[in-house]
């Protein structure tokens, strides 16, 4: 459970850092790309030794790291587009409600435990994500012309989580979690370089502010993935890990928003926080 707790803390920090991006007018795309190489370097340092390139190229998990890394940066861009076209709330709800996909996969593919309390907890988790994320009394405002964006975000986020679980179970040996995570981020960075080259042709160059922001983001971003993998590797079911991680992250990020940025919550948000706590307890208790 300690690994899951640490994942929630680091994932919540990402929201705080993104908020500071807005305050300090950081180019988010540039910072995200820098973040990937910092996350990769952090993973290599965590590995504790100089990796053997031949062993990496022969690793059974290599193609999964390529796939996940490519999805990282693709889904980030979809998230950005969803935020611009449909709003931040729609992007947040679409991304976090994707927990349904790895939960169903865990129960179906790996025969993970299921019972009325876990089912009720997962359903409450979905409700809490919506209530905690919505910042308007009118609820979500969907633009039907761009509805495909939150759908892709929902599916892509769920596929990332499901693939992480699949690779962890079948291909990533104990002790190589850091290296696997590092290669996922390395792939995302390589693709990001192509994007940076395009940005340069549009006279949008990377600057020191984006580099510093990318460094600040990259370290907790790496550990948010690493701790998730460690949670799964240490025997926690994905139908427990992903609901608790997603809901607790939204919950803790909301609390940090209140404490640090003095954000105002509407009644729905407070109800969502209470529902989130109940959902976490139900899922955790069902696991026990």
* Cβ contacts of 58-64, under 8 Å, gap ≥ 24: 59/171, 59/176, 59/179, 59/180, 60/170, 60/171, 61/167, 61/171, 61/172, 61/176, 61/180, 61/183, 62/183, 64/163, 64/166, 64/167, 64/171, 64/180
**pLDDT, mean over the chain:** 89
What's the pLDDT at 186?
95
pLDDT per residue as tens digits for the range 226-249: 999 999 988 889 999 999 999 999
**Closest of 231, 269, 287, 23 to residue 129, by C-alpha:** 269
The residue segments making up the domain with residue 29 are: 2-287
Is 0.85 surpassed by the pTM of this model? yes
CA 130 from centroid of its chain's CA atoms: 17
Q: How many domains does the chain have?
A: 1
Dihedral angle computed from the Cα positions of residues 125, 131, 133 and 134, in that order, rounded to the nearest 10 degrees: 150
What's the pLDDT at 143?
65
**Residue, of 269 and 6, whose pLDDT is higher:** 6
CA distances to 130, 138, 285 from 270, in Å: 12, 16, 23
Asked whether the CA dihedral 221, 206, 79, 183 is positive or negative, the reply is negative
* Distance, CA of 176 to CA of 159 (rounded, Å): 22
What's the pLDDT at 197?
92
- Concatenating the DSSP letter of every residue in 27-55 gives -HHHHHHHHHHHHHHHHHHHHTSPPPHHH
């Amino acid at each position: 459970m300690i690994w899951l707790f640490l994942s929630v803390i680091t994932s919540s920090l990402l929201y705080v850092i993104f908020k500071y991006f807005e305050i300090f007018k950081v180019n988010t795309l540039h910072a995200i790309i820098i973040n990937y190489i910092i996350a990769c370097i952090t993973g290599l340092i965590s590995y504790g030794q100089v990796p053997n390139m031949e062993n990496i190229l022969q690793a059974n998990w290599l193609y999964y790291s390529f796939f996940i890394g490519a999805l990282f940066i693709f889904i980030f861009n979809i998230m950005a587009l969803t935020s611009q076209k449909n709003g931040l709330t729609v992007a947040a709800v679409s991304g976090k409600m994707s927990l349904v996909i790895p939960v169903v996969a865990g129960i179906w593919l790996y025969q993970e435990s299921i019972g009325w309390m876990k089912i009720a907890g997962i359903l409450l988790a979905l409700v809490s994500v919506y209530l905690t994320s919505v910042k308007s009394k009118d609820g979500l405002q969907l633009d039907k012309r761009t509805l495909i964006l939150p759908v892709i975000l929902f599916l892509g986020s769920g596929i990332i989580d499901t693939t992480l679980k699949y690779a962890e179970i079948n291909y990533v040996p104990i002790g190589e979690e850091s290296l696997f995570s590092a290669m996922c981020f390395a792939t995302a960075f390589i693709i990001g370089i192509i994007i940076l080259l395009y940005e340069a042709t549009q006279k949008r160059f990377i600057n020191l502010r984006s580099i510093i922001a990318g460094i600040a983001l990259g370290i907790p971003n790496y550990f948010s993935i690493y701790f998730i993998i460690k949670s799964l590797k240490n025997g926690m079911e994905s139908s427990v890990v992903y609901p608790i991680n997603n809901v607790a992250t939204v919950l803790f990020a909301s609390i940090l928003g209140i404490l640090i940025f003095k954000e105002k919550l509407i009644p729905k948000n407070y109800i969502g926080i209470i529902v989130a706590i109940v959902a976490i307890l139900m899922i955790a208790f069902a696991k026990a």
